[in-house]
Amino acid sequence: MRHIFWAGDSTVKTNKFVTYPQTGIGQAFDRYTKTDVVICNHAENGRSTKSFIDESRLAPIYDDITEGDFLFIQFGHNDEKEQDPARYTDPHGEFIGNLVKFVNAARNKKAYPVFITSVERRLFDENGNLRQSGHEEYVKGMKEAAAKFDVPVVDLYSMSREFLQKTGDEASKKYYMNLAPGEASWAPEGKNDNSHLRYEGAMLYAGMIAKGLSDLGGVYADLIADDNLLSDSSKIEVNG
């Protein structure tokens, strides 16, 4: 068996019924992998690279990961929290330094690290244009670390932005924890949530990651059940 260990935040986490219909990308990803691939999802709500490490959440990954396994590293959403010193990291300083700790943990055990940039938030202005969300410098920081330490990167941020721009404000609501017109509220105080995903969104973006791994080729493409089905990213969509 091959294992994918996933370190990340709430956009990746495996959810229980109490947070339904919220679904994490890591929770959906096994729909795209071969039968001998096991997902070990260590992603947790609200974590940044800093708080994940400070809370010793990398330690059990290091204990269990073995030669030939994979460590998917997907952070950014909470590293941006400048008002919270327990989570905030400078995108071109501490953020990169923390990413290297994940890379070293994988490589010390002869496993493969993979960087995955943050999924974009669904934020449109009054004219229907997709706004910038705050991920930009962390995406640049992750790519900087990828180049410096020779780590493959799947740019989910760019793929998700392209999809949202093409799909538009109203049509993209069904992928996020955002209330559709006339839909009963599950969110606290009826608030819309443009960061977290429903099942449809988790499947969509997991498929984009699968496409990115397929494009990397080699051992990364070999994780995917049928990469021929992912040759056109426009096919990666869930009816709902």
Give residue 240's pLDDT.
37
Query: Per mean pLDDT, which range of 34-43, 136-145, 180-189, 191-200 is the poorest?
Result: 180-189
The mean of the pLDDT values for the chain is: 91
pTM, full prediction: 0.91
| Amino acid 53: pLDDT | 98
Residue boundaries of the structural domains of the chain = 2-235
Candidate CATH numbers 3.30.70.260, 3.40.50.1220, 3.30.70.2740, 3.40.50.1110; the one for domain 2-235:
3.40.50.1110
User: pLDDT per residue over 10-23, tens digit each?
Assistant: 999 999 988 888 99
The set of residues, in sequence order, having a beta carbon less than 8 Å from that of 59 and lying 6+ positions away, is none
Of 230, 203, 190, 192, give the one whose Cα is nearest residue 214: 230
DSSP string of 173-227, one letter each residue: GGGBT-PPTTPPP-SGGG---SSSB-HHHHHHHHHHHHHHHHHH-HHHHTTBS-G
Comparing 233 with 201, which gets the higher pLDDT? Answer: 201
**Calpha distance 134→157 (Å, rounded):** 11
Rounded to an integer, the average pLDDT of 62-87 is 97
**pLDDT of 181:** 54
Contact status, residue 135 vs residue 159, Cβ threshold 8 Å: no
CA distance 169 to 193: 13
Whether the pLDDT of residue 188 is over 60: the answer is: no
- The pLDDT confidence band at residue 233, using thresholds 50, 70 and 90, is very low
Please write the tens of the pLDDT for every residue from 117-128: 999 999 999 999
